[in-house]
Structure 1
Amino acid sequence: MKSTYFILLAAMAFAAGACTGEKKKEQPPVDSGRDRWTVQQANDWYQSQPWLVGCNFLPSTASNQLEMWQASSFDTATINRELGWAAGLGMNTVRVYLHDLLYEQDSSGFYQRVDTFLEIASRHKIKPVLVLFDSVWDPFPKPGEQRVPKPHVHNAGWVQSPGKEALLDSTRHPRLQNYVRGTVGHFANDTRILAWDVWNEPENPNKSAYGDVEIPDKATVVLPLLETTFHTARSVNPVQPLTAGVWRDDWSEESKLTPINRLMLDESDVISFHSYDSPEEFEKRVKWLQPLGRPLICTEYMARGNNSTFEGILPIAKAHRVAAINWGLVDGKSQTIYPWDSWKKTYTGEPETWFHDIFRRDGTPYKESEVVFIKKIISEK
């Protein structure tokens, strides 16, 4: 696919930010940045990696991104212990969400904590994918102490970044780009980071949980900001690839792509996608994306109730050398052992079939056979 988008001048966004009266933060030098990687560059990078297998990671003591990273609740002991369990399975990557309010709250402290996290992950030989923005779940994030999630509800404490108010207020958009420029710029040469995931499910309408308070035409609102975010991240010349994952609709040919899907596929250095469906559907979507000629990373899969399992998905991913990052590691405050329908259906205790996650908080597996399988397929040449 040919990109139809042009590099935006990052300096314009920075200048606009100065006009909002917001607190200034030290920024890295601004230039036009690097281009999108060529297909050859992307594949050269991918060939230098092992088969990438990992999980979306949130320590069991945190309910959301803010609680994971804020100084008062940054839990290095739990992070170290639980990343050790991931490494014990043979996992070599994790996908971890950041948040724009962490940068506003205390950018230097935030960077120090990210550095600490990267050091812990590095000791376990794990290279994280860092997610900058996310449009899923609660659209009203607030810094500080986080509310107690409603029991037995899937991701009841998770918050969006940016929130609804920031998305709808264009005067706040320069602040968001300062966060992107500052964060990617600070870690642009850090080889402990595998990749940057620019925006998770940018147009997700969250109908089952927050549909009544969501932005009605979210895709239209997010699209220009998503494009700018790609260019802002690229402006600081990161050595890591940029990506944003297609997650719904038909990607089988260009004529069927929505504007958001076309943008994500056109701007990503390496292609990422989500699939919580059967092995047959997973492989079909892999084949839709293979003609692009770029490395493929599945950044979300594994929902047992949807017939998306380790035993079903990992053999296909390995056969096609698709990186595979499942949702969840340890049953914790995210409550993702409960299915998506827990927003509508009442659960009073642990479901017989866990939706996501692999371990209980004491480190024992939900299913021993699953753990044996994961270790075996990762270790086999």
Structure 2
Amino acid sequence: MTRRVALGVAAAVPAAMIAARAGADPGSGAGAGGTVGPTTPAAGQPAQARWTPERAQQWRAQNPWSVGCNYINANAGNQFEMFQAQTFDPNRMSLELGWAKGVGMRVIRVFLQDQLYTADPAGFIARLNTFLATATAQGIKTMFVLFDSCWDPNPKPGVQREPTPGVHNSTWVQSPGAAALTSQDTAKLQAYATGVVTAFANDPRVIAWDVWNEPENLADSYPLAPPDKVARVAQLLPQAFAWARAGNPTQPLTSGVWADTRPEIRAVQLAQSDVISFHSYDPPEKFRAMAADLAKQGRPLLLTEYMARPQGSTIEAILPICKELGIDAYQWGFVAGRSQTYYPWDSWKQPYTGARQPQQWFHDLLWPDGRPYRDAEVATVRRLTAAV
């Protein structure tokens, strides 16, 4: 029996939350890729420079306004379970991405993990190729995230621990982890970033590269988190952009700014990104203000994380503004599952177990069987994407 069998999603959402559904959030309803391999830039070909604003706008003209999500299949709790050989599940991915297509999504943002490439470059690239073929069969393009500063700083491949009951994203791991981040040897990280980008540098199934997710996120509630983490990341972030550019991608590079961005991090992100991406879990007024400020960069805008229902960041409130302003929108989460991101962030301090359940989901759009959590949300996405 493989690990994949043990990761069934039938019990992904606690019974207590299911029982509360009728009273808290009523809803019902049902809910071709080519082959690519590693490529090498021509000998002596220099790494490209940052795109000009004009080139970025040409990219926008070729890639019209799109809606999508941050995607992880429901029977995976983190990047390892999604992409390591023993738990990689393209059948489940195909089912869920078919639901995404039916909702009206045309893009997804997907997190990778450097140790998977280091352990088995060819196998990892092959699985990414299979994933891209699966997504493209549903008419969906992918933004890959190379590095990520969120949650557990001690990633280890292999069998992953079970999700902590009632806790948001409890098995998610950083890339690089604390050990790699504090090491003076960056050769493996460089090989990973350049190798993955090079493999898909000319692949139309990849819409963009997110070089580093929330690089200033401390995630300091874990043991062994480096006390000087942000300073180390600030040093590595320009290198990470350079490593990605060394793959000579035809797709743009980006790294998303957010409200709490440290100045030294934000400066690198805005100076290096070909297109400007950002995170906002704020209500409409604050979201509009942030978007207006970033629009001064003169480059296409991508909202790569949003939707925190209790905070006023909802599909009905934010997505119409994104369409009005031409900002691609990627909500956090899609199908409720092992990531447990339907629980709020405060679950890290006080888990939602037993009778204690949130009044509404924090993230995620569908139940594990594909039913909408809220019919109105799915209807809004379908309506706004119908003519795109």
TM-score by length of 2: 0.87
Instruction: Give 1:149 shift.
Output: 1.2
Does residue 294 in structure 1 map to residue 299 in structure 2? yes
> Does residue 226 in structure 1 map to residue 233 in structure 2?
no
Q: 1:115 aligns to what?
A: 129
Moved more, 292-301 or 340-349: 340-349
1:166 partnered with 2:180? yes
What residue number does 1:371 align with? 378
Native 8 Å contact 1:297 1:323 kept in 2: yes
**CA distance in structure 1 between the partners assigned to 2:39 and 2:156 by the alignment:** 24
**What SS does structure 1 have at the residue aligned with 2:197?**
helix
5 Å-filtered alignment, 1:1-381, equals 28=40, 31-171=45-185, 173-207=186-220, 209-210=221-222, 213-249=224-260, 258-348=263-353, 350-380=357-387
> How far apart in 2 are the matches of 1:332 and 1:160?
19
Q: How far apart, CA to CA, are the structure 1 residues paired with 2:168 and 2:161?
A: 15
In 2, are the aligned partners of 1:28 and 1:181 still within 8 Å (CA)? no
Mark the runs of 5 or more structure 2 residues left unpaired by the alignment. Answer: 1-37
2-side partners of 1:305 and 1:279: how far apart?
Answer: 13
Mapped to 1, the partners of 2:336 and 2:244 lie a distance apart of 33
CA deviation map 1:98-155 (0-9, x unaligned): 1100101111111111000100111111001000000000000001111111111000
AA matched with 1:137 = W
In 1, Cα distance between the equivalents of 2:120 and 2:179?
20
CA separation in 2, counterparts of 1:108 and 1:151?
35
Unaligned runs of 5+ in 1: 1-25, 251-256
Let me know the Cα RMSD of the aligned residues: 1.5
AA matched with 1:348? T
Task: Give the AA of the match of 2:83.
Answer: W
The whole-number CA distance in structure 1 between the counterparts of 2:48 and 2:231 is: 27
> 1:17 is matched with which residue?
none
- SS of the aligned residue for 2:329 comes to strand
Displacement of 1:352 in angstroms is: 2.6
After the TM superposition, which parts of structure 1 deviate over 4 Å for at least 4 consecutive aligned residues? Answer: none
The superposition leaves residues 154-202 of structure 1 with CA deviations (integer Å, 9 ceiling, x where unpaired) of 000100000001000112x111001011110111111110000000011
Q: How big is the shift at 1:80?
A: 0.4
Counting matched residue pairs gives 347
Provide the residue aligned with 1:5 in structure 2: none
SS of structure 2 residue aligned to 1:170 = coil
Give the aligned partner of residue 16 of structure 1: none
Letter aligned with residue 181 of structure 1:
T
Amino acid at match of 1:139: P
Inter-partner Cα distance in structure 2 for 1:158 and 1:231: 26
What's 1:253 paired with?
Answer: none
| CA positional deviation for 1:357 | 0.3
Kindly indicate whether structure 1 or structure 2 has the higher relative contact order, using CA contacts under 8 Å at least 6 residues apart: 2
1:322 positional shift: 0.5
Q: For each residue in 1:184-223, what CA deviation from the matched residue of structure 2 results, as whole angstroms up to 9, or x when unmatched?
A: 011111111000000001121124x42x542223221111
Separation in 2, partners of 1:330, 1:278: 23
Rounded to whole Å, the distance in 1 between the matches of 2:190 and 2:358 is 41
Measure, in 2, the Cα distance between the counterparts of 1:343 and 1:235.
38
Give 1:380 shift.
Answer: 4.2
Say whether the 8 Å CA contact 2:178–2:224 is kept in structure 1.
no
Native 8 Å contact 1:60 1:330 kept in 2 = yes
Q: Is the 8 A contact 2:282 2:311 kept in 1?
A: yes
Q: Percent identity?
A: 50
Question: CA–CA distance in 2 between the matches of 1:217 and 1:60?
Answer: 34
